[in-house]
Amino acid sequence: MNDITIKKPPKGLMIFALVGPSFVWAAEYIGSGEVILATRTGAILGTTVLWAIVIGIFLKFWIGMSGARYTVCIGEGMIDMFDRIGPFHLVVWVIVVIQFICAIFSIGAVATAAGVFVSSIVPIIDTKLAVCLVTIFALAVAWSGKFDVLKIVMSVFVLIIVLGVIYVAGHVFPGFGEFLRSLSFGIPEVPDWAVPMLKGSKNPWKEILPLLGWGAGGFASQVWYTYWVLGAGYGAAAGRGYGKAADVSMLKRMSRDVAEKIKGWCRVLYVDSSLAMVIGIVATAAFFIAGAGVLGPQHLAPEGNEVAFTLSKVFADRWGPVGGFLFILAGTAALVSTNTGQLAGWPRLLADSFRICLPRFAKKFSWKTQFRFFLLFFLCTNMVIVFFFEKSPVVLVKVSAIFEGLLLTPLQAILVAIGLFIVMPKLLSAEAARILKPNWIFAVGLIIAFLVFGYFCVFQIPSALFGN
């Protein structure tokens, strides 16, 4: 690895000209958790639990950014980092088994919800046909595997989402006093009118946990951010492409000048990932506030196929066709962009995992072939889910949120910490390791993420799943 390999990093305002992974990351994770769960939770519990959105996204931001910092310094994605932890590819085997199952249900749930929203905007399109169209669109965007195409499409989606939902939420903003109180970690009681919707339960954590789990996406979203950084070519990721581990021999020869350049690219990453966090918090909070201000007073908490139709009708009644259309348009953009991000991300994750765990499979089929195989596989599973689980998008989203977004998150925080502070220095030359040593604040952020999500897994998930 020499000076020619690494471009000189931008400085000052020029950094914003090279942000891009953030738009893909934000557009991918602003989806079912925001449009469906945040709106529904806001309707049932009010603005009191807005803190859950801020905490969930902020802590996962540290996981995603820390993993991406490893990618900028080493030039490989998070799955390859995990493979360097423990013997016999054990960590990757655990991940691939769980992620394979989660991917099927999560992609299917989001595609189904997106189809409902598309059908709401264009009533002449049947819901099942809308799901097929959404899936084909997402597959077409992801098919080439090129980051630039994905970046452009997702940036447009982000713009639509932010403008649409902020317009609507601004009409029902509760005021700064109530807004500040909503950040005080309050746990409200479930109102009597909402108890039947929670199958007789008065446990508010049944609504809060999925919101925490899906805020900023789940385990996979943080892995995918390293792929978007690879695609953008930050630091040591420049020219690396997908489907291969880092060249350790080159890393061992890394010079001081190259390390300094990479450190400059780390600053670009910090701006990029922070932008994704801000976009995510603003958009999710806006959906949440809209649900609390519009649906809550009318005792409505949509689920199933009624999600889009209920939201559209209520918002149109309050602000006319423009308000209702803008909210549904923002929700549609969020769900379609999430489905696109999932079909671009999960095949990458699984192709990397198969390359590592089943090397013979990787030798027989190129990375792009594996990537496209998984794309087609998820196309088929989406068709199955839309015909058999069409009426259960909220249930599917909640299940996916708890298992993919919460249970794996504490493990991911610890694994990323090991990769960043233990694995990375061993791969670099001694001089480069000193220059690229991560600040202690990364360790603090990852440890807090582990403790907070670990607490929810140990104490709140059993209560929400099996208690009343």
pLDDT at 465 over 90: no
Dihedral in degrees, nearest 10, Cα atoms 94, 354, 381, 226: 80
Q: What is the mean pLDDT of the chain?
A: 84
pTM here? 0.90
pLDDT at 148 over 50: yes
Instruction: State residue 313's pLDDT score.
Output: 65
pLDDT category of residue 382 using cuts at 50, 70 and 90: confident
Instruction: State residue 3's pLDDT score.
Output: 45
239: left (phi over 0), alpha (psi -120 to 50) or beta: left
H/E element holding 57?
helix 50-74
Query: What is the Cα 90 distance to its own chain's centre?
Result: 24
Instruction: State residue 15's pLDDT score.
Output: 84
127-146 residue pLDDT tens: 888 888 988 999 999 988 88
Q: How distant, in Å, are the alpha carbons of 39, 78, 109, 169, 315 from that of 326?
A: 15, 37, 23, 11, 9
Contact call for residues 371 and 351 (beta carbons, < 8 A): yes
Which segments of 291-429 does DSSP mark as H helices, in order?
306-357, 359-364, 367-388, 393-400, 409-418, 424-427
Q: Output phi, psi for 271, to 5 deg.
A: -65, -45
Total residues found in the chain within this entry: 468
155-169 residue pLDDT tens: 888 888 777 777 767
Q: What angle do CA 126, 132, 133 make, to 5 degrees?
A: 85
4-42 residue pLDDT tens: 468 888 888 888 877 889 888 888 887 665 677 788 888
Instruction: State residue 88's pLDDT score.
Output: 87
pLDDT at 309 over 70: no
Dihedral in degrees, nearest 10, Cα atoms 111, 116, 122, 126: 90
Q: Output phi, psi for 239, to 5 deg.
A: 75, 5
Dihedral in degrees, nearest 10, Cα atoms 110, 113, 119, 121: -90
Average pLDDT over residues 377-383: 85
Query: What Rg value do the Cα atoms of the chain yield, rounded?
Result: 21
Structural domains in the chain, CATH included, are 12-466 (1.20.1740.10)
Q: How distant, in Å, are the alpha carbons of 18, 52, 446, 459 from that of 73?
A: 17, 32, 18, 37
For 361-384, b where at least 16 C-beta lie within 10 A, e where not — what string? ebeebebeebbbebbebbbebbbe
Instruction: State residue 466's pLDDT score.
Output: 57
Q: What is the DSSP string of 122-182?
A: STTS-HHHHHHHHHHHHHHHHHT--HHHHHHHHHHHHHHHHHHHHHHHHHT---HHHHHHT
pLDDT at 119 over 60: yes
Contact call for residues 409 and 453 (beta carbons, < 8 A): yes
How many C-beta atoms surround the C-beta of residue 121 within 10 A? 15
Q: Which two tokens stand for residue 245?
A: 């581990």
Instruction: State residue 201's pLDDT score.
Output: 79
pLDDT at 467 over 60: no
Residue in the structure block whose two tokens are 């630039």: 148
Average pLDDT over residues 116-131: 84
41-76 residue pLDDT tens: 888 998 889 999 999 899 999 999 999 999 999 999
Instruction: State residue 64's pLDDT score.
Output: 95
427-450 residue pLDDT tens: 999 999 999 999 999 999 999 999
Q: Which of 1-15, 107-121, 212-226, 287-301 has the lowest mean pLDDT?
A: 1-15
Average pLDDT over residues 305-311: 62
- Spatial separation of the C-alpha atoms in residues 45 and 146, rounded to whole Å: 42
pLDDT at 385 over 70: yes
Instruction: State residue 120's pLDDT score.
Output: 78
Average pLDDT over residues 177-200: 83
